[in-house]
Amino acid sequence: MHLGLSESMRDCEYSQISTRTSTPMETPYKKKTPKKRKWESFPGRNKFYCNGRIMMAKQTGVFYLTLVLILVTCGLFFTFDCPFLALQLTPAIPVIGGALFLFVLGTLLRTSFSDPGVLPRATPDETADLERQIDGANGSTSYRPPPRTKEVAINGQTVKLKYCFTCKIFRPPRTSHCSLCDNCVERFDHHCPWVGNCVGRRNYRFFYMFILSLSFLTIFIFAFVITHVIILGLSGFHTYLISSNQTTNEDIKGSWSSKRGKDNYNPYSHGNIFTNCCVALCGPLPPSLIDRRGFIQSETPQLAPPTNGIAMYGATQSQQSHMCDQDQCIQSTKFVLQAAASPLLQQSVEPIILATCLDDGGSLPGRTSLPLGEPCNSLPLVGQPTPPTSNPNLSCHEPAEMLPIHGHGHPHPGVHHHHFLTPEEVPSPPGILPCGSPMGHNHGMPASFYNPASQDSLHEDSVRGLVKLSSV
Amino acid sequence: MTPPPLTPTNHRKVQLSHITTHSLQDLRQQAAVAAKVFIQRDYTNGTVCQFQTKFPSELETRIDKQQFEETVRTLNNLYAEAEKLGGQSYLEGCLACLTAYTVFLCMETHYEKVLKKIAKYIQEQNDKIYAPRGLLLTDPIERGLRVIEVTLFEDRSLGR
């Protein structure tokens, strides 16, 4: 701005006459020949670039460091975090980040490259005049005159104006001489090495906007890096859980941690990470068991006990106390019959521990084993413990019903033919049941009785029964 | 002797006329010991650019006190207008900030506009009032807005 005005003044060659010692005749012609620009003979310790358009302090190393830090940090953020965040969250993130980054860069460059408000040094005439005024009657001094101050009342407040020996002027209020740049700067704030320049009247606003926008940029990047890390961390954590076939709950409790015991290991793990991952991600998806859209049946006392069959694995005494032991025994027998009627006839024999029903109602044998290959004529059921033909829900309370269906005279003697399953061996999904025989059993049980839903409930009931049995 | 207004077309003509003016000035400069008077800044109202209106004693013989004070007062008003805080300056500042200061590539700031006005005023004053009296006002911008430099030439009658 200032330079522009001097250009126009130079054109009319008006004021230069009184101050230049060069002959005026030369001046108009000199304009054609390349003249030195003022910055080339600038008395302060500044560096100029772009033919005087850019002005910086002498030491600019730290400024380049600032520039590198900002560029590298933002570069890394845009390269690594932004694609991920743009996809996961919103593409507005790189846009806002980019705008903020450009603003930071713009204000930094503006602060660093502009004139902070340097006061030009006094001309020799001015100096002479000033010295004359101060010295007064004294002759010219060979030694430096004593420090001079001028007092001025500004809006009621007395302010001392100091004389600057370097610039040979009385400094205006709020002006200070920067020793690094060797200039008097108006409204001098400080010399900032990070921007490589003084901060004064002309570039203070850019400096402020630079540090403000930089704070926002820092917070912005930090917040999103943390978000990225959290998302990554969570995925990483669950990747670990999947690969070791653990639940978060188990991990937190340390159920399968080796810290619990030397031989403590996760029994559900399939052994290798790959299998565990495959099972978790590509394994069969079990159906919903709660039958949300099913219709409520009219009340008949055929509802299964309120508790879930699976929960009965850990059945406590309190649950069992709901029913009398006799009931339990009868129930259990029925369940056993059902469970044993699964196609385990062809299965290899596994001795099963069957708890004795100690009550008076109990007459089950303590232990039985199923001889392999013995045809069990009494078992009409095939495959899974299927329900009797017309009654999908296993009733615990009518043992008598079951007997004719099974074709037994009595449940007890036939029991020993059956293959009893321990709770652990009771298969959960039908598919996993080691089914030795296909659906077409040689006893010719029609497969039409197969009903998955009822099978499940029946299965659960039988499991329940067995557990109860074992716990008696 | 009024130099014509400077335009790119008549620049050459102006140069020629200035040669004559310069030679005149040159004579004055070479002949007379040019004395200089410096009108200092007035800081009683803070850091706003104002100059002291006190009439320097050296000029007493040369020019009318009222005239001089009028000149300085007008200059003070012009500088106050340049630095005025008002709706227009805020608007300009906000617009500049929003456009990342690129707007100044095509537009000049309010301050710059007023400085041009000041330059024209000083030139006009010099031509009309001061030059005939053997005085020359220097635009304060040439002196870093520190002083108004008044150059005194030997009093010679100027025919042209």
Confidence of residue A419 (pLDDT cuts 50, 70, 90): very low
Suggest the residue from B36, B79, B94 to mutate for an interface test with chain A (most A CBs closer than 10 A): B36
DSSP string, A394-420: PPSS-HHHHHHHHT-S-HHHHHTTS-P
Confidence (pLDDT) at B107: 86
Quick check: A28 and B15 CB within 8 A? yes
Which residue is catalytic, options A74, A167, A192, A329? A192
Quick check: A155 and B46 CB within 8 A? yes
Quick check: A152 and B44 CB within 8 A? yes
B36, B45, B146 ranked by CB distance to A125: nearest: B36
Q: Residue A305 pLDDT > 50, yes or no? A: yes
How many A/B residue pairs have CB atoms within 8 Å?
112
Q: Tell me the nearest-neighbour CA distance from B66 into chain A, angstroms.
A: 24
Bigger pLDDT: B34 vs A4: B34
Contact A356/A423 with Cβ under 8 angstroms? no
- Taking CB atoms within 8 Å and a gap of at least 24, the contacts of A218-222 are A220/A96, A220/A97, A220/A100, A221/A73, A221/A74, A221/A77, A221/A81, A221/A97
What span, in angstroms and rounded, lies between the C-alpha atoms of A64 and A75?
16
What span, in angstroms and rounded, lies between the C-alpha atoms of A325 and A336?
16
Q: Residue A273 pLDDT > 80, yes or no? A: yes
| A437-450 confidence digits (pLDDT tens) | 444 444 444 444 44
pTM of the model: 0.57
What span, in angstroms and rounded, lies between the C-alpha atoms of A110 and A175?
21
B38, B47, B119 ranked by CB distance to A173: nearest: B47
- Looking at mean pLDDT, say which of A17-21, A32-36, A116-120, B57-61 comes out highest: A116-120
Confidence of residue B122 (pLDDT cuts 50, 70, 90): very high
Quick check: B47 and A23 CB within 8 A? no
Q: Residue A8 pLDDT > 80, yes or no? A: no
Quick check: B26 and A17 CB within 8 A? yes
Which residues from B are below 8 Å from A1, CB to CB?
108-109, 111-112, 115
Closest chain B residue to the Cα of A128, Cα to Cα: B36
How open is the CA angle B11-B14-B19, to the nearest 5 degrees?
Answer: 130
Contact B143/A at CB under 8 A? yes
Bigger pLDDT: A331 vs B93: B93
- How many angstroms separate the first and last alpha carbons of chain A? 101
Quick check: B136 and A18 CB within 8 A? yes
Average pLDDT value for chain A: 71
Confidence (pLDDT) at A198: 95
Confidence (pLDDT) at B27: 40
HSE at residue A382, side-chain half, CA atoms within 13 A, is 16
Confidence (pLDDT) at A134: 75
The answer to whether the complex's ipTM is over 0.90 is: no
Quick check: A25 and B34 CB within 8 A? no
Confidence (pLDDT) at A378: 44
Sign, CA torsion A55/A61/A67/A68: positive
Q: Residue A113 pLDDT > 90, yes or no? A: yes
Suggest the residue from A32, A125, A159 to mutate for an interface test with chain B (most B CBs closer than 10 A): A125
List helix spans (H) across A153-260.
Answer: 204-243, 248-253
Closest of A295, A310, A353 to residue A459, by C-alpha: A310
Ramachandran bin of A206, using left for φ above 0, alpha for ψ from -120 to 50, beta for the remaining angles: alpha
Q: Tell me the nearest-neighbour CA distance from A99 into chain B, angstroms.
A: 11
Residue B35 DSSP SS3 = strand
Average pLDDT value for chain B: 80
Contact B90/A at CB under 8 A? no
Structure tokens belonging to residue A231: 């998302």
> Is residue A63 within a helix (H) or strand (E), and if so which, with residue range?
helix A61-76
Confidence of residue A16 (pLDDT cuts 50, 70, 90): very low
The answer to whether residue A178 is catalytic is no
Contact A421/A428 with Cβ under 8 angstroms? no
Confidence of residue A464 (pLDDT cuts 50, 70, 90): low
DSSP string, A119-183: EPPPPHHHHHHHHHHHHTTSPPPSSPPPP-EEEEEETTEEEEEEEETTTTEEPPTT-EEETTTTE
Residue A83 DSSP SS3 = helix
Structure tokens belonging to residue A97: 């980040």
Closest of B15, B1, B124, B117 to residue A10, by C-alpha: B15
User: A281-316 burial string, b = 16+ CB within 10 Å, else e?
Assistant: eeeeeeeeeeeeeeeeeeeeeeebbeeebeebeebe
B45, B112, B146 ranked by CB distance to A1: nearest: B112
Q: What residues contact A465, with CB distance under 8 A and at least 6 apart?
A: A331, A332, A333, A334, A335, A336, A338, A339, A396
Number of Cβ within 10 Å of residue A73's Cβ equals 14
Q: Residue A369 pLDDT > 90, yes or no? A: no
Contact B41/A at CB under 8 A? yes
Quick check: A6 and B109 CB within 8 A? no
What span, in angstroms and rounded, lies between the C-alpha atoms of A236 and A350?
42
Quick check: A173 and B23 CB within 8 A? no
Which residues from B are below 8 Å from A106, CB to CB?
100-101
Q: Residue A121 pLDDT > 60, yes or no? A: yes
| A138-187 confidence digits (pLDDT tens) | 555 556 566 688 888 988 889 999 999 999 999 999 999 999 999 999 99
